[in-house]
Amino acid sequence: MTTKIKPNWMVLFLFFYLLLTLYFLFFGFGRLNLSRSMNYNLFLEPIPLAFPNGSTFFIWLFNMGNFLAFIPFGVMIPLLFRMTYIKFILLFVLSITIVELLQLFSGLGAFDINDIIINTLGASIGYLSQRIIPKHYKQTSKGMIKMFISAIFISLLTISLVSTFNDYLEREGPYIPLSEAPDLHFNLKLEDHYRLTENIATIEFLNAHYDELRGSATLANIDKLPERIDISFIANEEEIYSISFVSDNYEAEDTTFQLPIAGINELDIRVTDETGKSIPSVILLEDMELSEMNMGQNILYDFNKRIASILDYLIFERYVSVD
């Protein structure tokens, strides 16, 4: 015999569950003790859903909570108010966006577009888990148990799919030699070995869709060498990577390097001694290769680049109007 659950009890459960969720969103995890600054993130990142994989337990639990905690809303709201998925998801996204904005302006959290995505994913799984249950079972204890089991199964499947997609987004390569890249300009002769004969060697990327630059640096055969030699990789007038040779390890093998270059249009390579004086001719760069972005990385990069352009424009306009 199945027991029919009264709508009043479902409304009461939804109400108290909503209060509990709002408590954790605004006051849980020691939010009241944090500095009340306005923090936001509008850049898309891989969805942080995975089975325990070595990350700290708290971070894993927090990410899973952001996902699992919103599944009940996808189950209860459509059961009580009879709505299509499109209507439900639009209402949910609007509501969670308002919550994120309240977190931003109250300083009791941060506005994060990735939180909205993972919350919406959880609500969508809840909606799907109740839709696959026959109508006459939905508001019964037996139907609720089936929804719970369905939600677990769909959640595990979703986490597996998201983890696979994240691996694709984080995959390296393929790598191509620097000399074979058709869309860049390098002010040194493109060969397997590059002796730095200029004060600054510059790689100008005509196509910014490269992810990493790797290679090795070794000392040229020169009699008199300074006490220390520094190789600096500079983008937008900021050092993003450096290598140091000191007199004690001058006889060591080549030093390999691998640095991120996504979004960089121009990379300067500068060699200096311990006083900061340029000494370019003492270094050889070898096996220089570029890692190309895959389609997913390109899409993510292009979206974030557009967001960055919009933010730069808004900040510039505000700065100009204030002046």
Question: 3-class secondary structure for 219-258?
Answer: ECCCCCCCCEEEEEEEECCEEEEEEEEEHHHCCCCCEEEE
Global pTM value = 0.76
Residue-wise pLDDT tens digits, 144-160: 888 889 999 999 999 99
Both tokens of residue 177?
A: 């030699």
Backbone dihedral region for residue 236 (phi beyond 0: left; psi -120 to 50: alpha; all else: beta): left
Which residue has tokens 């209860």? 76
Per-residue confidence in pLDDT tens, the chain, 323 aa: 456 666 777 888 889 999 998 888 888 766 666 666 778 888 888 888 887 766 677 778 888 889 999 999 999 898 888 889 999 999 999 999 999 999 888 877 888 999 999 999 999 999 999 888 777 666 777 878 888 899 999 999 999 999 889 888 888 778 888 888 877 777 776 555 677 766 778 888 767 688 888 988 887 766 677 788 888 999 888 899 998 888 665 555 568 889 888 878 888 888 888 888 888 777 888 888 888 888 888 888 888 888 888 877 776 555 444 44
Per-residue confidence (pLDDT) for residue 192, from 0 to 100 = 53
Per-residue confidence (pLDDT) for residue 193, from 0 to 100 = 65
